[in-house]
Amino acid sequence: MPYQRAKFYQVGSFAVGNRLLAPSERTVQSSLARTNSLTSGHRACQGCGEALAARYVLDAAMAATGGKVVVVNATGCLEVFSTPFPETSWRLAWLHSLFGNAPAVASGVAAALKAKGRADVRVVAQGGDGGTVDIGFGTLSGLFERNDDVLYVCYDNQAYMNTGVQRSGSTPPAARTATTEALGPEPGNVFGQGKDLPAIAMAHGIPYVATASVADLHDLEYKVERAMAFRGARYLHVLVPCPLGWKSATAETVRLARLAVESGLFPLLEAEAGEVVAVTPLRHRVGVEEYLRPQGRFAHLFRGAGRPDIVARIQQVADRNIARYGLVQEAGE
Amino acid sequence: MRQIEGSQAVAEAVAACRPEVVCAYPITPQTHIVEAIGAMVRTGRLANCEFINVESEFAAMSVAIGASAAGARAYTATASQGLLFMAEAVYNAAGLGLPVVMTLANRAIGAPINIWNDHSDAMAVRDAGWVQLFAEDNQAAADLHVQAFRLAEDLSVPVMVCMDGFVLTHAFEAVEVPTQEQVDSFLPPYEPRQVLDPDDPVSIGAMVGPEAFEEVRYLQHAKLVRALEKIPQVAEEFYHSFGRYAGGLVSPYRTDDAHTVVVAMGSVVGTLKDIADQLRQKGQKVGVLGITTFRPFPAAAVREALWGARVVVVVEKAFSTGFGGVLSTDVATAMGPLRAPIATVVAGLGGRPVNAASLAALIEGSERGSLEKVTFLDLNRPVVDRELERMGARRRSGPSAENMLRDVASQAAAQEG
């Protein structure tokens, strides 16, 4: 970890305690001067993790660049709920073109700024997991490969929520979606599929890749700030619970995001030039069941006798992540 | 005047327009154009320009969209499959009102895969909301690009300059290449209508529901209708700056007293002018109407040029499968009350040479009413008939294209033997 985290062990969370910090160490979100890049009045569902993450990320990017950010947005929930014409919730320069081309459009914006000598203006592109790992994957890989000066942010809620919760290449195994129903002997999404986009981004050797969670605001803001310190292609992958698609209580969004991290299913990491340089160790490790149970999309794993066999397979996925990234440090280490 | 390849002439004309972002994805036959521009960026001859090698045509148009929205003059080129692959972004650029300029090196669309010239690609996106200009020769191709940037930026619409693949792109002709001084005096720097600017933030590309979508579309239509006035004005100004005429809506040739008027687009217009001269020597009053602006369609200018015609023949390098001519349909609509019969000749598909003698014979007979509603020029009837027979006889008759290629080869062998 290249920075010293403030520790608030007494409450078990990093999300509180700003008032205990020196003003310079407080989050951007805690400041009255934050941009509110995605301001109130938009049409996101109650408890939307994506709306939360988008504001966190863009306010941090605006703070890091002195307000010189241009945003390119892929089609999806975020675009639809934020701009029902003639209203817009964006308090920054914002462009939406298509579902699968946000990375390429962002490359175009970056090229235009370069041609015009506007090195002060920075480009952030953003989309959901469908727009990132599936339909926009080709253009995203092109952006990475050319190392264009863009921060691309994926808000991953693990399915196509905007069209009614269909499976994407980011849907986890066993999760129920409208196209992977909880039916038959292997209910929900199948095992052994899907893309690990942070790893794919790292394989491009781009300057900076990180994962972040809406449950860890300090860490998320640090990673955005860090990303803006680099030139070239950067990738930030944020897990954003979706009460609609995950069939979870709207008050549970941040808790579920934290459990995803603490179970080891969503490791928090940073990589530079293709190499992992930092991970967030699990201070308080939980079993995957604690994360899965509150989510209706996994209800079929716990109904009646339940499916302990499937839960065990998901636990294996978490264990593999923990071992791979060294998320649990042995005592005395 | 320089003896120069069409693609090189276009590349130089585009470079003289000082594009700020050029994106390139290779597809035959447009490659020479972007290669040449890329080289000019490398040497610094074209300054302040970002040249981007993208990973697909979809990305090429998307990069152009982003660049244009950020206030840069953006250019790309494509053809055929590439145009279809970027089709979603082609519509999007028009919907956003972004003045992107693109060269379309017209080429057939597969299957069967075919790299040679026809107009199917341009026809596939005729309703996308772009201005579509067709070049008759390489001088026109070079000059139309200079006018295209001017038109696009004046009207805030994207403009596609269509030039026949290989026939023009790879042909060496004498071309007066637009000079930097001339272009600078004709084309002011790009001043966008709206731009992505952190100091004056706007949201571009918002969702529009039923309450305003029709109005947005109507405005797009109104802009293209306005282009019908703007295009001749720009051509006129171009004439004053460059001393030669190019562009405009239509180019009539000997139509004033013509009994038969042949309508066409692109390089075949030159062939048709020769045929008209030839037939006039035999006493038949033939004229040619070249369509320079296909979208917006210049209905009034077409009607005026066809006023005295007794027969109208439309020669097309594309058609609407299962119906007939595309341009013919537009011409027929434009003719309105004019009663002259109209016949379509589909010619030059997939690079098939347009045989002047065959075409002249068809046109010659047209006044006697010998032309069918739709004629496929030089169609190899026996080969088609044999395949139709095969298809009728057996369900698993095999792939038609391959069957017919075999038949054509055996026909050729029989002729040699």
pLDDT digits (tens, 9 = 90+) for A161-178: 999 999 999 999 999 999
Do the domain assignments include residue A330? no
User: Using the beta-carbon criterion (under 8 Å), do A84 and B207 form an inter-chain contact?
Assistant: yes
Report, as an integer, the average pLDDT of B43-58: 98
Do the domain assignments include residue A256? yes
pLDDT digits (tens, 9 = 90+) for A183-236: 999 999 999 999 999 999 999 999 999 999 999 999 999 999 999 999 999 999
Report, as an integer, the average pLDDT of B56-68: 98
User: Using the beta-carbon criterion (under 8 Å), do B56 and A142 form an inter-chain contact?
Assistant: yes
Q: Is A111 on the interface with B (CB under 8 A)?
A: yes
Q: What was the pLDDT predicted at A17? A: 61
Could you tell me what percent of chain A has a pLDDT over 70? 93
Q: Is A139 on the interface with B (CB under 8 A)?
A: yes
Residue A256 has pLDDT above 80, yes or no: yes
pLDDT digits (tens, 9 = 90+) for B250-275: 999 999 999 999 999 999 999 999 99
- Rounded Cα gap, residues A107 and B200, in angstroms: 21
**Helix, strand, coil abundance in chain A, percent, nearest 5:** 35, 15, 45
Report, as an integer, the average pLDDT of B359-385: 93
Cα B159–Cα B152–Cα B208 angle in degrees, nearest 5: 85
User: In the structure encoding, which two tokens stand for residue B375, read together?
Assistant: 């004629």
- B406 Cβ neighbours under 8 A, 6+ residues apart: none
* 3-state SS class at A215: coil
Residue A10 has pLDDT above 70, yes or no: no
- Rounded Cα gap, residues B322 and B350, in angstroms: 18
User: Using the beta-carbon criterion (under 8 Å), do A104 and B54 form an inter-chain contact?
Assistant: yes
Residue to substitute from B203, B208, B211, interface A, most A β-carbons within 10 A: B203
Could you tell me what percent of chain B has a pLDDT over 90? 94
Nearest to B66 among A112, A142, A145 (CB): A112
A with B: how many residue pairs have Cβ under 8 Å apart? 161
Confidence of residue A7 (pLDDT cuts 50, 70, 90): low
Region of poorest pLDDT, from A268-272, A326-330, B83-87: A326-330
Q: What residues in B contact A93, CB-CB < 8 Å?
A: 196-198, 200-202
pLDDT digits (tens, 9 = 90+) for B146-204: 999 999 999 999 999 999 999 999 999 999 999 999 999 999 999 998 899 999 999 99
Residue B213 has pLDDT above 50, yes or no: yes
Supply the range of the domain harboring residue A265.
18-324
User: Using the beta-carbon criterion (under 8 Å), do A146 and B66 form an inter-chain contact?
Assistant: no
Do the domain assignments include residue A145? yes
Q: What was the pLDDT predicted at A22? A: 82
Between residues A123 and B398, the one the model is more confident about:
A123
Residue A51 has pLDDT above 70, yes or no: yes
Report, as an integer, the average pLDDT of B364-391: 93
- Rounded Cα gap, residues A75 and A109, in angstroms: 17
Cα A276–Cα A282–Cα A283 angle in degrees, nearest 5: 140
In chain A, where does DSSP find H-type helix? 49-65, 77-82, 102-115, 129, 137-146, 197-203, 217-228, 243-246, 253-262, 288-292, 308-325
- Rounded Cα gap, residues A214 and A232, in angstroms: 25
Confidence of residue A24 (pLDDT cuts 50, 70, 90): confident
Q: Is A115 on the interface with B (CB under 8 A)?
A: yes
Q: Is A86 on the interface with B (CB under 8 A)?
A: yes
User: Using the beta-carbon criterion (under 8 Å), do A112 and B198 form an inter-chain contact?
Assistant: no
C-alpha count within 13 angstroms, C-beta hemisphere, residue A313: 13
Buried/exposed A242-259: b ≥16 CB within 10 Å, e otherwise: bbbbbebeeebbbbbbbb
Q: Which of residues 150-209 of A touch B (CB under 8 A)?
A: none
Residue A269 has pLDDT above 80, yes or no: yes
Q: Is A138 on the interface with B (CB under 8 A)?
A: yes
Q: What residues in B contact A92, CB-CB < 8 Å?
A: 198, 201
Q: What was the pLDDT predicted at A14? A: 52
pLDDT digits (tens, 9 = 90+) for B68-107: 999 999 999 999 999 999 999 999 999 999 999 999 999 9
Q: Is A121 on the interface with B (CB under 8 A)?
A: yes
Do the domain assignments include residue A29? yes
Name all domains of chain B by residue range, CATH numbers in brackets: 2-242 (3.40.50.970), 250-376 (3.40.50.920), 385-416 (no CATH)
Q: Is A257 on the interface with B (CB under 8 A)?
A: no
Do the domain assignments include residue A4? no
- Rounded Cα gap, residues A106 and A74, in angstroms: 10
Q: Are strands B172-175 and A69-73 parallel, antiparallel or unpaired?
A: unpaired
Chain A: residue whose CA lies nearest to B216: A85
pLDDT digits (tens, 9 = 90+) for A65-98: 999 999 999 999 999 999 988 899 999 999 999 9
Do the domain assignments include residue A12? no
Residue A331 has pLDDT above 60, yes or no: no
Residue A11 has pLDDT above 60, yes or no: no
ipTM of the complex: 0.96
Q: What residues in B contact A97, CB-CB < 8 Å?
A: 62, 65-66, 89, 92, 96, 205
- Residue entry with tokens 């992958």: A237
User: Using the beta-carbon criterion (under 8 Å), do B55 and A142 form an inter-chain contact?
Assistant: yes
Structural element, H or E, at residue A213: strand A208-213
Q: Is A94 on the interface with B (CB under 8 A)?
A: yes
Q: What was the pLDDT predicted at A25? A: 85
Nearest to B66 among A91, A106, A116 (CB): A106
CA-closest candidate to residue A300, choices A185, A163, A193, A201 = A185
User: Using the beta-carbon criterion (under 8 Å), do B58 and A138 form an inter-chain contact?
Assistant: yes
Query: Is the Cβ–Cβ distance between A173 and A317 less than 8 Å?
Result: yes
- B354 Cβ neighbours under 8 A, 6+ residues apart: B268, B271, B315, B347, B348, B377
Q: What was the pLDDT predicted at A188? A: 97
Do the domain assignments include residue A28? yes
Total domain count, chain A: 1
Residue A15 has pLDDT above 60, yes or no: no
Mean pLDDT, rounded, of chain B: 96
User: Using the beta-carbon criterion (under 8 Å), do B65 and A84 form an inter-chain contact?
Assistant: no
The shortest C-alpha distance from B149 to chain A (Å) reads 17
Do the domain assignments include residue A319? yes
Residue A18 has pLDDT above 80, yes or no: no
- Rounded Cα gap, residues B134 and B161, in angstroms: 6
- B253 Cβ neighbours under 8 A, 6+ residues apart: B269, B273, B276, B287, B288, B289, B290
CA A312 remoteness from chain centre: 25
Q: Is A105 on the interface with B (CB under 8 A)?
A: yes
pLDDT digits (tens, 9 = 90+) for B3-30: 999 999 999 999 999 999 999 999 999 9
Q: What was the pLDDT predicted at A333? A: 45
CATH number at residue A173: 3.40.50.970
User: Using the beta-carbon criterion (under 8 Å), do B20 and A116 form an inter-chain contact?
Assistant: yes
Distances in whole angstroms, Cα of residue A301 to Cα of each of A308, B15, B326: 7, 63, 58
CA-closest candidate to residue A242, choices A77, A90, A80 = A77
Residue A12 has pLDDT above 70, yes or no: no
The shortest C-alpha distance from B100 to chain A (Å) reads 12
Residue to substitute from A35, A95, A120, interface B, most B β-carbons within 10 A: A95
pLDDT digits (tens, 9 = 90+) for B286-326: 999 999 999 999 999 999 999 999 999 999 999 999 999 99
Nearest to B52 among A73, A83, A146 (CB): A146
Report, as an integer, the average pLDDT of A281-301: 96
